[in-house]
Amino acid sequence: MSRINLLPWRDELRREKNVEFGAICLTVLVVALLIALGVNRGIHYTKLNQQKRNDLLSDEIKKLDNKLVKIKEFDKKREELAERIRSISALQKGLHKSVSLFNEIASTIPQETYLKLLQQKGQDGKLFLLLDGVSLKNRFVSKYMENLDKSKFFGKPLLKYIKLSNVKVSSGRRSGTVVSVNNFSVRVDIASEEKKPKDGNKAKPRRGN
């Protein structure tokens, strides 16, 4: 039986296998490089898009911050304007009340009674008046106290003192004569709210005929 030499065929098959393996490895390497390049470019584009989003968000945040600053400035100006309006209203109200208060003081003074001093003071958040004057008769001082007590602008008056003194008349028909006068001092609180009229001062309904 003749022998067949298989070595050349095996060597050729081995070479083909090696070439095929090399081609496969090269193909895998190229594919891996392409995949890596694609992934790298994808990451790069993702970073760029994220950076654009971050920049857009930063711009929007800056715009919102500017709007908030403008809103705060507007609120501050509005509060300042409201404070001015309140101050003007308080001044107008105080002026009106002062005029009414002086008119009320004048209307409560009875005959033959004169004020020498009027002072407005405050204590413990309350306003009060000090009224110093003279009266020719003691009963006029009592009448003055009664008028103050009835007024809706004042609280209950307090008579600090009443002193009798002699005064020389300097003018008029009785010039040169000496008369006795009552010097008095009254403290009365200014009512924070208008008092309700007392029962004795309410108008009584008329009866039918």
- pTM here? 0.47
| Least confident range of 75-79, 85-89, 112-116 | 85-89
User: Given this model, what pLDDT does residue 205 score?
Assistant: 39
Measured distance CA(52)–CA(111) in Å, rounded: 91
Residue 131 banded pLDDT, cuts 50, 70, 90: very high
| Least confident range of 14-23, 31-40, 47-56 | 14-23
Give the residue, 176 or 55, on which the prediction is more confident. 55
